[in-house]
Amino acid sequence: MDTKFIKKEDGEKGILEAARLLKNGELVAIPTETVYGLAANALDGDAVEKIFLAKGRPQDNPLIVHISQTDEILPLVEGFDDRAKALAEAFWPGPLTIILPKSERIPTQVSAGLDTVAVRMPSHPTARAIIKACGFPLAAPSANTSGKPSPTSAAHVMDDMNGKIAAVVDGGNCDVGIESTVITLAQNTPRILRPGGITHEQLESVLGNVEIDKAVFKALENDEKVLSPGMKYKHYSPNARVIIVKGSLENFAKFAADRQEKTCVVCFDGEERAMSVPAFSYGHADNPQEQARELFDVLRRVDDENMELALVRFPSLDGVGIAVYNRLLRAAGFEVVEL
């Protein structure tokens, strides 16, 4: 299949072309403020099935449904309660996904057999314009091959999906750079299943007590029950082995210099000169937003340079830094070294 590249300059025409393909049951990668999504008509189970094939995604991992305005959630869920309303009011459009009991409109392919559905209203104007032009919600996981780092540019999407999907819509580099926060309201106490652009503190300021699922920072045992199936899988990984390293800059640089493998480092801006191996920086040490924005691009560059090992400076844990650490832990298969 020829994958069409829809350019920013195509404007309204490009949006209508993307909508036409989606109405035909095709897959189109679309920009969002978090990462690029691989979209299909969320109400068409056959179209949604193609997403799993293109990504090589495990069948038991449910998808997020994207809407362009808040009232579009009403037919998709069973009960849009006060808590959900308050969250939507505070954080939509934006990087927050809300899980609620699903209505019968949601095909089983979307919910992967669960009785809940995840819904999000992205803030990227192109994403919302495409949903509007379609007239139906879009199911969209991140537009990467399953297991790989999520795409934060149209070029990343082409690297993984060229030839497998109908089109990619270029909307520039993603502002947030990591995926949305996923919170479930399908239980008494709201719980964060995946940290992201909206922080725990922000959520508690609206809802009061919010739990954080233990899978956020911990590898799960094989037989452990998970609320969010996505947490089970190895994720965001380059081909290179990734290790998160905690310690002073000097000790870090020495540790990297002593490795036998083809090694690179992922360090903070301004630290490159202290390194004797190739260095990729992912933002300033005290700026978790920058680290989020640049992380996935850097992980992809590690593979472009055919590295065997990437040693990553321990990220800031402030605000969105928790989400950066969560992604790094998965990329590293939970390998953390303290010097």
The residues binding ligand TXA (CB under 6 A) are 32, 34-35, 37, 61-64, 95, 97, 99, 111, 114, 116-118, 120, 122, 140-142, 179-180, 182, 193-194, 227-230
Task: Assess 32 for contact with Mg ion (CB under 5 A).
Answer: no
Residue found by looking up tokens 């000097």 in the block: 250
CA separation for the pair 198, 185 (Å, rounded):
16
CA atoms within 13 A on the CB side of 50: 20
Residue found by looking up tokens 């959900």 in the block: 84
Tell me how far, at minimum, the Cβ of 34 lies from ligand TXA, in Å: 3
Applying CB under 5 A, what is the total number of residues that bind Mg ion? 1
CA separation for the pair 177, 167 (Å, rounded):
21
Residue found by looking up tokens 């007239």 in the block: 135
Q: Which does 34 bind (CB under 5 to 8 A by kind): ligand TXA, Mg ion, none?
A: ligand TXA
Task: Return the H-helix or E-strand segment holding 49.
Answer: helix 45-55
CA separation for the pair 103, 116 (Å, rounded):
8
Which residue lies nearer to ligand TXA by CB, 67 or 264? 67
Task: Assess 97 for contact with Mg ion (CB under 5 A).
Answer: no
Q: What is the DSSP letter of 315?
A: P
Which residue lies nearer to ligand TXA by CB, 84 or 275? 84
- Mark the segment that binds Mg ion (CB under 5 A) among 40-48, 78-86, 136-144, 152-160: 136-144
Tell me how far, at minimum, the Cβ of 40 lies from Mg ion, in Å: 15
Cβ atoms of 44 and 139 within 8 Å: the answer is: no
Task: Assess 142 for contact with Mg ion (CB under 5 A).
Answer: yes
* Nearest-CB residue for ligand TXA: 230
* Positions in the binding site for Mg ion (CB under 5 A): 142
